Amino acid sequence: MLYQNLANDLLANIEQGLYRPGERLPSVRQLARQRGVSVSTVVSAYQHLETTGQVTAREKSGIYVAIPAQRQIEAPEPSRGSQPTQLQMSDTIARVFAQNRYPDRMHFDLAVPAPSFQPAAQLKAAANRVVRHHFNDSLTLYPSPGDGELRRLIAQRMLACGCQVDAQEIVITNGCQEALLISLQALTQPGDVVAVETPCYYGFLQALESLGLTVVSIATDPVTGMDVQALADDLQRWPIRVCLCSPSYSNPTGACMTEAAKQQLVDLAHRHDFHLIEDDIFGELAHGEDHLKSQQDAFRREQEQRPRPLRAFDRHGRVIYCSSFSKSLSPGLRLGWVAAGEHRLRVMERQRASTTGTSTLPQLQVRDYLKSGHFDKHLSRVRRQYRINIELALSVVAEAFPEGTHATQPQGGFVLWISLPKSAPDALTLLDRAQPEGVCFVPGQVFGLQGLESCLRISVAQPWTEELEGALRILGRLAGDLS
């Protein structure tokens, strides 16, 4: 039969590596044209390959070469919390980040989208329009809180994910890191106790260390995030003023709290009179947004949609929301924001004392880009790509890493948390061995105070190439050899 011949041809192309796992196959119409057959022959051939598991159809997106079934990889164990501590981590963090200096290596360490995962052409067009029509404005100082129209557009996007914010409370910042820092400054004094997840983004720890704050780390599950009951217990023991957290696709684990847990966390903050500083930088990168199927169970559906931020559950002004365009558009823009609620004036005061405000040109550029209506199209493309890259990375981890390796399977974002078996070397030692072989990653030690020595974070926000896959295999081999 004609469709079977076509299916066999396609299969041969896949086996020869012409189409690689995770890659999109030609559309039905393209293939019909290329091979001189009818559309229904192509549809039957693709249906046949889907039944035999060689390809997968993704709603509104196309037909993709299936990613080989993985050995089932379990998620790492939940972490334990720790007592209040004054941090001294800058040296370790600086040592790890020295690896950024080697462009010829394979970089799993950089948690930012590669240029090809940024909407470069559209951002360039937006910049050109600003230069052509608003150049004099771009030379003007826009002090804190920043451009009013950009703040209105951001408030609109936040409203769309359930957050009742007023554009007046938004302060434009130099990336999310400044948003976090000035929010912490607005709410704390040196020596205050701040709770964080374990592991958490090392930038949290850098900010806390630089402000002389005391850190208590809360037990955290690598899939469902912070253990709210553990935080409730710690509130009985320590005078926690602020909890700094990433409830939706945390860095480094990709964990996402359930809506029920988010509601509990916000209620807890209200009852115990502390504030939550929410980092939602990965919130827009839910993988499943474009392929939701009605038969999926409620938990999975909840995990796959753009998660509602903590802020959407807040009725008492407990949550200060921070984010930026660094993961969703481009890290070079250095454009973020805080929705600071009643703390807006203090946050602005902190910003004026440090950077005065954010550069005008990127504000006008992003304002123009958001108005062009392209952002959602871009998000739809990269979400799909990140999902595929995470699946590809996990299939390599399953094959090439030693028995007993665990890893998270995030439903959003582009970072993956791997825990090596007890017999493996600690992650800093592994990094020392991996670098001469041209492979960079971030060892677990920089994401928390203790108990993360056998873990590593890899970022897959870059085109998946044979070299990249080879580099991940090298890492797996080294972990195995050294075990």
Ligand X SMILES: Cc1ncc(COP(=O)(O)O)c(C=O)c1O
User: Which residue ranges make up the site for ligand X (CB under 6 A)?
Assistant: 111, 175-177, 201, 203, 246, 251, 279, 281, 324, 326, 331, 336
State which residue, 144 or 251, has the beta carbon closest to ligand X. 251
Distance in angstroms (rounded) separating the CA atoms of residues 259 and 152: 26
State which residue, 328 or 405, has the beta carbon closest to ligand X. 328
Q: How far is the CB of 56 from ligand X (least distance, A)?
A: 29
Q: How far is the CB of 63 from ligand X (least distance, A)?
A: 33
Residues 198/452, Cβ–Cβ less than 8 Å? yes
State which residue, 110 or 232, has the beta carbon closest to ligand X. 110
Tokens at residue 153, please?
Answer: 């557009």
Tokens at residue 470, please?
Answer: 């080879």
308: CB partners within 8 A, 6+ apart:
161, 162, 163, 259, 262
Closest CB to ligand X belongs to which residue? Answer: 175
Q: How far is the CB of 321 from ligand X (least distance, A)?
A: 12
State which residue, 328 or 385, has the beta carbon closest to ligand X. 328
Q: How far is the CB of 327 from ligand X (least distance, A)?
A: 7
State which residue, 330 or 395, has the beta carbon closest to ligand X. 330
State which residue, 205 or 400, has the beta carbon closest to ligand X. 205
Amino acid at 432: D
List residues bridging with 60 in a β-sheet: none
Q: How far is the CB of 386 from ligand X (least distance, A)?
A: 14
Q: How far is the CB of 254 from ligand X (least distance, A)?
A: 11
Distance in angstroms (rounded) separating the CA atoms of residues 265 and 274: 11
State which residue, 253 or 395, has the beta carbon closest to ligand X. 253
Q: How far is the CB of 19 from ligand X (least distance, A)?
A: 33
Q: How far is the CB of 443 from ligand X (least distance, A)?
A: 16
Respond yes or no on whether the N-terminal peptide bond of residue 199 is cis (omega within 30° of 0): yes
Q: How far is the CB of 446 from ligand X (least distance, A)?
A: 12
Tokens at residue 327, please?
Answer: 């993961």
State which residue, 201 or 401, has the beta carbon closest to ligand X. 201
Q: How far is the CB of 219 from ligand X (least distance, A)?
A: 19
Helix 39-51 with 2-15: angle, nearest 10 deg: 60
Q: How far is the CB of 135 from ligand X (least distance, A)?
A: 26
Longest dimension (CA), the chain: 76
State which residue, 176 or 478, has the beta carbon closest to ligand X. 176
Residues 208/184, Cβ–Cβ less than 8 Å? yes
State which residue, 176 or 269, has the beta carbon closest to ligand X. 176
State which residue, 76 or 203, has the beta carbon closest to ligand X. 203
